Amino acid sequence: MFIEPNLKGERRGWIEVVCGSMFSGKTEELIRRLKRVKIANLKVEIFKPAIDTRYDESNIVSHDTNSILSTPVESSQSILLLSEGVDVVGIDEAQFFDAEIGNVCEQLALKGIRVIVAGLDMDYLGNPFGQMPALLAKADYITKLHAICVKCGNIANISYRKVALEGQVLLGEKDVYEPRCRHCAQAK
């Protein structure tokens, strides 16, 4: 994809969302797209929620340890302030952002910016997660990725929580979560 000018010569932006369960390759796909944009010499800003320090405080890091430098931010409004003069904005772990993330992405797209967002579409219970439903509704392009169920080998769409802790947000990796299909997630 590229930013195509309209008939008046203005750039047109859009929103791409990469979603799925943990271990499905969302961050890997985000990093792949952003690296391609950098090869094209487009100006890029990349953001992640400050709450996500699992692998690194600044870098976005996939489970396969692929990484790209990003700016941790406390709120989605900071993304608007830090995105002046860019061609592309990348955002990881969108489910952890506040209620304004969808509007922020919309404003960026209206400014002619390509916005690439990655995040969990469902929580560990299989319920919609955070602001992802609103982002999916606003998206021009959606890529849904799947992991492989560790129990049966079918496609997995649930980030099954292996520990008995309450609350929708619990940062963790393979020690806390594993990918499961809907049937194996119910079997416990």
Q: Which residues are catalytic?
A: 93
Residue 188: Cβ-neighbour burial (10 angstroms; 0-12, 13-18, 19+): exposed
| 180 SS3 class | strand
The whole-angstrom separation of Cα 60 and Cα 55 is 8
- Asked whether the CA dihedral 120, 122, 124, 130 is positive or negative, the reply is positive
Q: Give, in degrees to the nearest 5, the angle at Cα 180 between 117 and 48.
A: 25
